[in-house]
């Protein structure tokens, strides 16, 4: 009460208090989980918001660049195989309350069967190029598999069979391999032995073997129906009498 203005007039100061009524915003769907396959296009309806002031903003976090959002849906195009977790966030423009709808997208790779070709080479020859082919399934667009072959066979491996295996580095394809077999066959070589001429003297004399082969071998000659080995691995010029 202020009497300074006049005795007939009274001035009042009124303070108003307002209390915010809590009305949280919520999504119509608490979370979204989608499963698809590489190369397929999928469209999903987004959840709606309610509560709060009724006026909202939307923020999107961790979305890959092949996901396109509209006001009501999102579409995955040219997706890459893998698992993706997106945060779809609603914000009340007045109270700044936030609510998040997690979106999980699982993109499965395409299944492919790949058969590795069998290969053959001779002992001491270089290992030939390893190859294979898609025996079941189809690649998309201009895609190609990234195949890395391996075998335990080497040019110095003994004659026999060895496995050929492979791995695929293109993660958009789940590849099942049919292993191949690498066969090392025996090699054919001409071996020359130098002549020896002389009178029998009960002494040992040497013979020279050409070529000098580095490997497991034995060169045989016969005399009086007896088989003799005159050269073996890493040793030439063996003695005989």
pLDDT digits (tens, 9 = 90+) for 10-30: 666 666 555 455 689 999 999
Mean pLDDT of 136-143: 93
Contacts of 119 (CB under 8 A, 6+ apart): 127, 128, 130, 131, 151, 164, 180, 181, 182, 183
Residue pair 82/54 in contact by the 8 Å Cβ criterion: no
Mean pLDDT of 187-198: 68
Contacts of 221 (CB under 8 A, 6+ apart): 193, 227, 228, 230
Confidence of residue 238 (pLDDT cuts 50, 70, 90): very low
Mean pLDDT of 204-222: 58
Selected residue with higher pLDDT from 48 and 6: 48
């Amino acid at each position: 009460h202020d009497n300074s203005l006049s005795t007939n007039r009274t001035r009042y100061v009124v303070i108003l208090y307002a209390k915010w009524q809590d009305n949280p915003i919520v999504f119509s769907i608490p979370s979204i989980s989608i499963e698809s396959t590489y190369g397929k296009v999928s469209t999903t309806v987004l959840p709606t918001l309610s509560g709060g002031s009724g006026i909202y903003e939307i923020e999107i976090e961790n979305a890959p660049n092949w996901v396109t959002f509209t006001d009501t849906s999102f579409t995955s195009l040219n997706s890459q195989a893998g698992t993706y977790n997106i945060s779809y966030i609603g914000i009340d423009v007045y109270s700044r309350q936030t609510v998040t709808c997690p979106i999980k997208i699982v993109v499965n790779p395409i299944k492919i069967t790949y058969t590795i070709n069998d290969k053959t080479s001779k002992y001491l020859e270089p290992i030939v190029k390893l190859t294979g082919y898609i025996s079941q399934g189809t690649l998309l667009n201009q895609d190609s598999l990234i195949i890395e072959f391996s075998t335990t066979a080497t040019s110095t491996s003994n004659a026999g069979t060895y496995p050929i295996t492979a791995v695929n580095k293109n993660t958009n394809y789940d590849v099942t391999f049919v292993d191949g077999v690498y066969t090392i066959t025996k090699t054919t070589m001409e071996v020359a032995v130098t002549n020896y001429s002389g009178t029998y003297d009960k002494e040992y004399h040497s013979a020279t073997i050409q070529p000098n082969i580095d490997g497991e071998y034995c060169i045989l000659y016969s005399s009086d129906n007896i088989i003799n080995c005159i050269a073996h691995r890493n040793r030439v010029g063996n003695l005989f009498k």
